[in-house]
Amino acid sequence: MAFRKRILMLGTRYDTMGGISAVVNVYRAAGLFERFRIQYLTTHCDGNALNKLVIFGRAVATFMSLLLTGRIGLMHVHMSSRASFWRKCVFMLPAFVFRIPTIIHLHGSEFVVFYEQECGGLAKRFVRFVFNTASHIVVLSSAWQEWVQGICSNPNVEAVYNPVLVPEQPTQWSSRSDADVLFLGRLGKRKGSYDLVEAAARLRAANNEFRLLMGGDGELENISARAESLGMANSVKLLGWVRGNDKEQYLSSARIYVLPSYHEGLPMSVLEAMAAGLPVVSTTIGGIPEAVADGVEGFLVQPGDVSMLADRLKRLLDDDELASRMGAAARNKVITTFSTTAVLPRVERIYKDLGFDPQ
């Protein structure tokens, strides 16, 4: 019996916290799975080690069945660093043996740290081998493209931005809060969460109405303790991980979005905030400068510069016209550069180049 070949896309479960699931869910919502014969294979989930092992074991069994029966025509592998890289190699190496074209879609914001600081000589050689055997490598920004091209000889390394769904109508600026600053992400040092609480304490001294809304998992107890030690217990609100309608509501009511990260690829939260019409204060790392031009769609500061972070947030809190103008510019930037209509044709072109046309 001859089976119809399909694109096998590998990634984390749809409801997992993080950027890969956010990107994949946009692909689904935009109809990519229907236009091309895409079967999504979940290789990872949130939760305890047993649940993760069960998910991974099922994925391996399904993959081998599809591979041995000739049903895979192309693999699209969403990959970050560390365990994600090693886990995805379990699928990529057999695909290489069976000559299945494979796209590596690199999301890991700390892949440079993983490769340069945590991999020994043999592991680095293996990473380069995996990259060189891929048919195509997709990265999230030109900065990442340059880095990947520097460690491997694969000629097909391409920067393709993360896509975002754009609300039809942004919230009227006059209905937004005057003093709510929103952060979304995994709370901890990498996302600059402690720097942000320090900056917030300086802002609170000048603005009694100021509130920092922090949505995400991670080091919640430590962040709460730090806020309390700075006298900010009533001004820092920890929301837990927010998604769906709750996230839309926070994006619709906040005045500023802030993400003072030390390492990033191209954070979906920044793009979602821009799509909602929010000015952004973030850092000059990864693909963020390709989304936010300093002084246009928001402000960029160096990671760890708490004084400058507080200053830029204060400028937007104090200047309503500036904040409104930057929010409108951010939304326009997303529409032209990061919307699904701008980004997905590039993904589809890669599929076509590798032999897959819409069904």
Q: What span, in angstroms and rounded, lies between the C-alpha atoms of 207 and 211?
A: 9
Locate the domains of the chain by residue range. 6-163+340-353, 173-338
Which percentage of the chain shows pLDDT scores above 70?
Answer: 99
Q: Spelled out in words, what is the top-level CATH class assigned to the domain 6-163+340-353?
A: alpha beta
Q: What is the mean pLDDT of the chain?
A: 95
CB count, 10 Å around CB of 354? 18
Q: What span, in angstroms and rounded, lies between the C-alpha atoms of 266 and 277?
A: 18
Q: Where are the beta strands (DSSP E) in 17-130?
A: 38-44, 72-79, 102-106
Per-residue model confidence as pLDDT tens digits over 128-151: 999 999 999 999 999 999 999 999
Per-residue model confidence as pLDDT tens digits over 90-130: 999 999 999 999 999 999 789 999 999 999 999 999 999 99
Q: Using alpha carbons, select from 7, 8, 25 the residue that is nearest to residue 16.
A: 25
Per-residue model confidence as pLDDT tens digits over 239-260: 999 988 999 999 999 999 999 9
pLDDT value at 310 more than 60:
yes
Please state the pTM of the whole predicted model: 0.92
Which percentage of the chain shows pLDDT scores above 90?
Answer: 92
Per-residue model confidence as pLDDT tens digits over 279-305: 999 999 999 999 999 999 999 999 999
What pLDDT, on the 0 to 100 scale, is given for residue 292?
98
* Spatial strand order in the sheet of 72-79: 38-44, 6-12, 72-79, 102-106, 136-139, 157-159
Q: What span, in angstroms and rounded, lies between the C-alpha atoms of 268 and 185?
A: 10
pLDDT band at 1 (very low <50, low <70, confident <90, very high): very low
CB neighbour list of residue 225: distance below 8 Å, 6 or more residues apart: none
The CATH superfamily label for domain 173-338 reads Glycogen Phosphorylase B; (3.40.50.2000)
pLDDT value at 168 more than 80:
yes
pLDDT band at 2 (very low <50, low <70, confident <90, very high): low
Between 5 and 4, where is the model more confident? 5
Retrieve residue 261's tokens.
């990260």
DSSP code of 15? T
Region 66-73: mean pLDDT is 96
Same CATH topology for 6-163+340-353 and 173-338: the answer is: yes
